[in-house]
Copies of this chain bind each other. A is one copy, B any other.
Amino acid sequence: MSYKEKKVLPIGSVSELTGLSLRKIRYYEERGLILPERSGGGTRKFSFNDVEKLMDIANQIEDGMQTFEIKKMYKKDKQKDKGKIRDEMIRGQLNAAFKMSK
Contact = CB atoms under 8 A, between A and B. Distances in A.
Nearest to A16: B8
A8 B3 contact: no
Please give the count of copies of this chain that the complex contains.
2
Nearest to A46: B8
B3 A45 contact: no
A6 B12 contact: no
B48 A13 contact: no
Contact of A9 (B4, B9, B39): B9
Contacts of A10: 10, 13
A17 interface: yes
A86 to B, nearest CB: 33
A17 B13 contact: no
Interface of A: 3-4, 6, 8-10, 12-13, 16-17, 39, 45, 48
